[in-house]
Amino acid sequence: MQPPSETLSSAADETVMENPTVGIDQTKGDFQYKVDYAFDAGTGLSEDTVRYISSVKKEAPWILEFRLNALKKFLSMPMPTHWATKDLDNIDFAKIRYYLSQGQKPKRTWDEVPDDIKKTFERLGIPEQERKFLAGVEAQFDSEAAYSNIKDIVAKQGVIFVNSTEGLREHPELFRKWFGKVIPTGDNKFSALNSAVFSGGSFIYVPKGVKVAQPLQAYFRINAENFGQFERTLIIADEGAEVTYMEGCTAPKFSTSTLHSAVVELVALKGAKIQYITVQNWANNVFNLVTKRGVAHEEAEIKWIDCNIGSRLTMKYPGVVLKGERARGEVISIALANDGQHQDTGAKMVHAANNTTSNIVAKSISVGQGRSTYRGVVHIPKHLKGCKNNTECDALLINTNSRTDTYPAITVRGDRNYVQHEASVSKVNEEMIFYMQQRGLTEGQAMSLAVNGFINDLARQFPMEYSVELKRLIDLEMEGSVG
């Protein structure tokens, strides 16, 4: 099991020239450190890989069994290319490294983090962000969480915020009940893969009635070439609890593709509220195939705010199962697809109780030869009443060769529910651009303003820091897209 041999220089130098489009976070995120990995599961996937991961983590026997069972499912399931893009066939599972780690346990203070990993995270700006306002940070470097900290106040409230290994080892009574229940192993081929080789990710429990005032945050980073990151996150908000979780993702640009396949499960018990915010900015050779779903019990609310800017191919449809009466689900989705990118995103709303409501607002921007796709499911089964869904999808096409698709599927039974879906595709209004140019803006600036205006009502729902970053990111993406 050899440590990776990539060097720092090549990736950093080429950033601007080779990939001008990915802009701001890319210059932050596109660097790589030579790291000596203490544990490396090697390339390729077999029962031995799974056993290796499980033994390194010193897992309970039931987890190993869960993993092996998942591996069987993964191997038996076909690639979903009958509906999804054929690009999936370009993933070579035999060339992927499934587990890399330096053997570190999560550190509780910044000083304890090894210097080289600290350098990585400092470039990502994590400690500053934490100092500003974040309640807790969990940063994942390749397979394992390298650093985590929860401010005392949150811990005192009884909030548990640990990585998945720790969560399963130290709080099995809390997490085992829901682990793999919201998203069954065989939900899809990639959730099965994740279930076999998962490592890292956050496990959060918010006790009854506790409202976490500040958002909890995680960063995910892929550092090694050919590496697959398979984090697993489970958030449980007990009755009446409230929590906001934010995640950011980056990876340096390698010459070969990288795979990120996460599973995120949310459980909002009676009256609880979970808000889950993602800003995904993987380098544009990452396959980002993620399964995210939440269960909302009676009067609970789950809101996914999902922003996809990076990656080569993203397939991600955050979902909410509305299990209890008056539960509410919401997905706010922003996708930006530039040259060589396919953002295949959307939402799933499964109504399973009376008087449940769901709302989906998706906006996508296709630049250059970028392709954005909205795919959605709204399901209201038999004998429910008073269920409502509203779906709006808007696509903006910047260049003549940009592409967008919309594929919703809506099933409604019975005469006591209301569903509406609307989608539109348009380009930037020429008169608007003309007006701004006439007031002294360049065409590029005008275009950036118009695009920001297009997503403004959604961007406002992001925490301030993220919405400012999003705006800058879009400005950069728009550079050179006109004229």
Partner 1 sequence: MSATSTPAIRSAIGAFKPEAFAAHLASLPPLPSWWIERKRAAYERFAGLPLPARTDEAWRFSNLSGVALEGFAPAASGPSAPAISMGIKKSARLTFANGALISRETLDPALEKQGVIIDSLRNALTRHGDLVREHLLAQPARLGSAKFTALHEAFLSDGAFIHVPKGIQIELPVGIFSHALGDGIAVFPHTLVVAGENARVSVVEYFGSGGDEENQLAIGANDLYAGHGAQVTYVGKQDWSHRALALQSNSTVVRRDARVQSLNLHLGGRQVRHESLSQLQAPGAFSEMLSLSVAHGEQEFDQRTLQIHQAPDTKSDLLYKNALLDRARTIFSGLIVVDPDAQRTDAYQSNRNLMLSEDAEANSLPGLEIQANDVRCTHGATTSRIDPEQEFYLQSRGIAKAQADELLTFGFFEEVLNRLASDELHAALRALIQTKFKR
Which token pair is 354? 């009376």
Segment near partner 1 (CB under 8 A), from 11-19, 274-282, 350-358, 405-413?
405-413
From candidates 129, 157, 399, 452, binder to partner 1 by CB under 8 A = 399
CA 281 to chain centre: 9
The least distance separating partner 1 from the CB of residue 78, rounded to whole angstroms, comes to 8
Task: Annotate 239-273 with DSSP letters as a single string.
Answer: TT-EEEEEEEEE----SS-EEE--EEEEEE-TT-E
**Per-position b or e across 69-90, b if 16+ CB within 10 A of its CB:** ebbebbeebeeeeeebeeebee
Residue 141 CA from chain centroid, whole number: 15
Beta bridge partners of 267: 236, 295
Nearer to partner 1, 195 or 372 (CB): 372
* Minimum gap (Å) between residue 426 Cβ and partner 1: 6
Determine, following the binding rule CB under 8 A, whether residue 400 of this chain makes contact with partner 1. Answer: yes
Residue from 59, 87, 339, 405 in contact with partner 1 (CB under 8 A): 405
Cα→Cα distances 174→235, 365, 483, Å: 11, 41, 57
Distance CA 444, CA 455 (A): 17
The footprint of partner 1 on residues 460-479 (CB under 8 A) is none
Q: Is residue 24 close enough to count as binding partner 1 by CB under 8 A?
A: no
Give the HSE-up count for residue 101: Cα atoms under 13 Å, Cβ half-sphere.
Answer: 24
Distances (CA, A) of 231 to 210, 404, 473: 26, 30, 25
Work out how close the CB of 430 gets to partner 1 at its nearest, in angstroms, rounded to a whole number.
9
Nearer to partner 1, 158 or 414 (CB): 414
Residue 409 binds partner 1 (CB under 8 A): yes
| Count of residues interacting with partner 1 (CB under 8 A) | 36
If the CB atoms of residues 136 and 370 are measured against partner 1, the closer one turns out to be 370
Tell which positions 75-104 bind partner 1, by CB under 8 A. Answer: 82-83
Please give the Cα distance from 232 to 203 (Å, whole number).
8
Instruction: Kindly state whether residue 429 participates in binding partner 1, applying the rule CB under 8 A.
Output: no
In the complex, what is the shortest distance from the CB of residue 11 to partner 1, in angstroms, rounded to a whole number?
33
Decide: is 338 part of the binding site for partner 1 (CB under 8 A): no
Residue number, 454 or 462, with CB nearest to partner 1: 454
* Cβ nearer to partner 1, comparing 401 with 442: 401
Q: Does 398 bind partner 1 (CB under 8 A)?
A: yes
The only residue of 404, 448, 467, 481 in contact with partner 1, by rule CB under 8 A: 404
CA angle 276/156/264 to nearest 5° reads 25
By CB under 8 A, which span of 14-22, 172-180, 302-310, 404-412 interacts with partner 1? 404-412
* Token digits of residue 374: 């909205």
In whole angstroms, what is the distance from residue 340 CA to residue 404 CA?
14
Residues from 34 through 53 that contact partner 1 (CB under 8 A): none
What does the per-residue mask of binding to partner 1 show for 352-391, with x meaning CB under 8 A? ------------------------------xx--------
* 10 lies in the site for partner 1, by CB under 8 A: no
Taking CB under 8 A as the criterion, the residue among 11, 365, 397, 476 binding partner 1 is 397
Q: How far is it, in rounded angstroms, from Cα 428 to Cα 222? A: 35
In this chain, which of 216, 395, 451, 476 binds partner 1, going by CB under 8 A?
Answer: 395
Q: Taking contact as CB under 8 A, which single stretch among the options 137-145, 267-275, 407-415, 450-458 is the one that binds partner 1? A: 407-415
Largest CA distance in the chain: 69
Distance of alpha carbon 363 from alpha carbon 163, whole angstroms: 32
248: Cβ contacts below 8 Å, ≥ 6 apart: 124, 217, 218, 219, 220, 278, 279, 280, 281
Could you tell me the smallest distance in angstroms from the CB atom of residue 378 to partner 1?
9
Q: Which of residues 135-164 bind partner 1 (CB under 8 A)?
A: none
Alpha-carbon distance of 159 to 206, in angstroms, equals: 5
Binding partner 1 by CB under 8 A: which of 10, 76, 90, 411?
411
Contact footprint for partner 1 (CB under 8 A): 82-83, 382-383, 395, 397-427
